[in-house]
Amino acid sequence: MGKGNGALGASKGKANPGRASILALGKAFPPQLVLQDYLVDSYFKDTSCDDLDLKRKLTRLCKTTSVKTRYVVMSEEILKKHPELAMEGQATIKQRLEICNKAVTDMAIEASQAAIKNWGRPLSDITHLVYVSSSEARLPGGDLFLARGLGLSPHTQRLMLYFMGCSGGVAGLRVAKDLAENNPGSRVLLVTSETTIIGYKPPSAHRPYDLVGVALFGDGAGAMLIGADPVLAIERPLFELHTATQKFIPNTQNVIDGRMSEEGISFTIARELPQIIEDNIGSFCETFLQTVGLHEKEYNKIFWAVHPGGPAILNKLEKRLELLPKKLKASRRALMDYGNASSNTIVYVLEYMVDESLKTKMGGGEIEEWGLILAFGPGISFEGILARNLSV
C-alpha cells in the first residue's frame, strides 16, 4: 500500500493535519433482547395471528437472514397499553410517534454518553451535532431533545438528517467530516437512533415485505465523535476520513419505497435490490481504488466496512468484487448480533473492525491501512467514504 500512502501524503498510522478522523464510537440498545429462534412464536402470539402459511414463511425468512439476536423497543408492556398497534387497519400514528420519539431520544443520549466517555474530552468541547433518524417526526426535532438531554451548550450547531434509511449513518459521517474539516478546532457529535415500532404491524398476506422486516430489522443507537487534528495526549483517532461520495442510481426511486400513513410507516423493497447493488458497486468503488494507487480488481488489498442491509446484499457484493470471506467479517458479525438496525449499523460494524484490527495486530498479522465505509439506501443511493485505519 506504499504507493497509496505517497499519493495522499499520509504517514502510516498518523493522522494528516486538517483531515477529519473518527475519534470515538458508542452504542446503546433498548432492554428487550430478541432471540431469532423464538421470534416467530412470540410475534404471532403478540399479534393474535394463527395463519400457518404466514408463520411458515416467517420461519423460512428467519433462517435465511443470518441474524441470531436483536434488540427492540417493542415489549409486552407497550402492547398491553396499546393493543391497537397489533391490529390491522388501525389509525395509530399518534401512539407510535409518542413511543418512538421518546425511545430514540433515550437511546441517542445513552449512545452519545458512551462515545463521549470513550473520547475522553469534556462535553463542553462538542461544537456541532449531526442527528440521524428515520424513526421519528416532530418539530422541534430530535436533535434539540438530544442536545437538551445531554446538556450540550445552546451554542452547539445542530443539523438533522431524517428518513435516509440504511444509508443515513454514512451520509451523516460524510456531513460530519465536512463540518470538522471546515471549522478548525471543532468536534462533531454524530448520533443515529432507530426503532422499528414506527412500522410494527401484524402479519398480513397483503403486505409480504413486512415479514422480511420482522425477520431482519432491529433497534438501537450509535454515536461517533469526529474531528481534525486530534489531541494525541487525550484523543485516539480510529479511522481517518478521506474522499466522501454519494451517488444515486437513475430510475431506481421505487425500489425502496417507504410511505407514512395513519398506520405508521410501510416499506416495500423490490427483489432486484441486491442485483442493482451488485451491478453498480464496481464502478462506484473504482475511483476510490485509483486514489490509493490500486488497480481494478485489487479489492482484497483494502478493508471493507459495509452496512449489512441483508445477507443477499453482502453475498452479491462479495461475489462481484471477488472478496475473501474475511473482508466482510465485521459486517456479517454486526448483522448476526444486531440485525439490520438501519442507520446505526455502520457504527457497530466499525466497532467490530477496531476490535478485529487490535486482535490481528496483537497476533502479528497484517492490517490493511486503506479501506471503504459503505452503505446503500433509498434512491437507490450509494454512500462511500475512503478511510485509513489508524490502528495500524
Active site residues: 166
CA separation for the pair 232, 251 (Å, rounded): 47
Q: Amino acid letter at 260?
A: M
Which one-letter amino acid corresponds to residue 153?
A: S
Residue found under cell 462479495: 318
Q: Assign 71 to helix, strand or coil.
A: strand
Place of cell 437513475: 250
Checking DSSP bridges between strand 370-377 and strand 303-306, what pairing results, if any? parallel
Give, in order, the Cα–Cα distances in Å from 24 to each of 3, 140, 321, 377. 28, 27, 30, 25
With 0-12 / 13-18 / 19 or more C-beta atoms within 10 angstroms meaning exposed / middle / buried, residue 140 is: exposed
Q: Which residues contact 77 (CB under 8 A, 6 or more apart)?
A: none
Question: Which helix (H) or strand (E) element contains residue 131?
Answer: strand 128-133
Instruction: Give the β-pairing of 264-269 and 256-261.
Output: antiparallel
Residues of 23-39 as b/e, b for ≥16 C-beta within 10 angstroms? bbbbbbbbeeebebeeb
Q: What is the CA radius of gyration of the chain?
A: 21
DSSP bridge pairs for 105: none
Which cell numbers in the block locate residue 290? 485509483
- Residues forming beta bridges with residue 376, ordered by sequence position: 382
- Strands of 141-283, DSSP E: 157-162, 188-194, 220-228, 239-248, 256-261, 264-269
